Amino acid sequence: MKIKLAQIKTIEEPLAKLADKELNVRISYRLGKLLKVIGKELQELETNRIKLIKKYGTPKDDAKGQQEYKIEDDNKDKFIKDFNELLQEEIKVDFSPICLDQLKDIKLTPVDVMRLEGIIIIDNKKEKKETKK
C-alpha cells in the first residue's frame, strides 16, 4: 500500500486509538507493525521539517536563552512550498487493509473512519446485500 506523508500525520491518532482496543491477535499484530512504520516515518518527517525551519528561519534566543527559529515573511512561502512538497512524498507500506467487519463491536467516530480510509475498508459485497433487503 502506498501512503503520502501528509496522510500519515492524520492517521496516527485514530490508528493508535484502534490499536489500544482489544482486537483479534492477527489484527493487533498488523496494527502494531503499521504503527512502528508510521512512527519511524513521522520521526523522519519531523527531522526534515526542522531542517527546513533552520534553512528558512532566523535563529533567535528565547526568554530562557535557548535558540529558536523564526521564519520571516519573505521566506514563509518557500518554507510552505518545500514542506508541502515533502508531505506529498509517498512511501510504500507492507500492509493489507482491514475489513470493517473484522473489528466487530469496536466503535469509531466518523472522523476516525475518514482518516483511516485505505487502512480500514468496508466489505462491499456484504454492504450491497444489506442495502438490497
Q: pLDDT tens digits for 62-79?
A: 888 888 999 999 999 999
Q: Do residues 19 and 95 touch, judged by C-beta distance below 8 A?
A: no
Backbone φ, ψ for residue 100 (5° rounding): -55, -35
- pLDDT for 85 equals 96
- The type of residue at 53 is I
Most confident of 9-18, 20-29, 51-60, 98-107: 51-60
- Identify the three-state secondary structure at position 86: helix
Residue 42 CA to residue 45 CA, distance in Å, equals 5
- Section 113-128 average pLDDT: 72
State what percent of residues in the chain have pLDDT above 90: 38
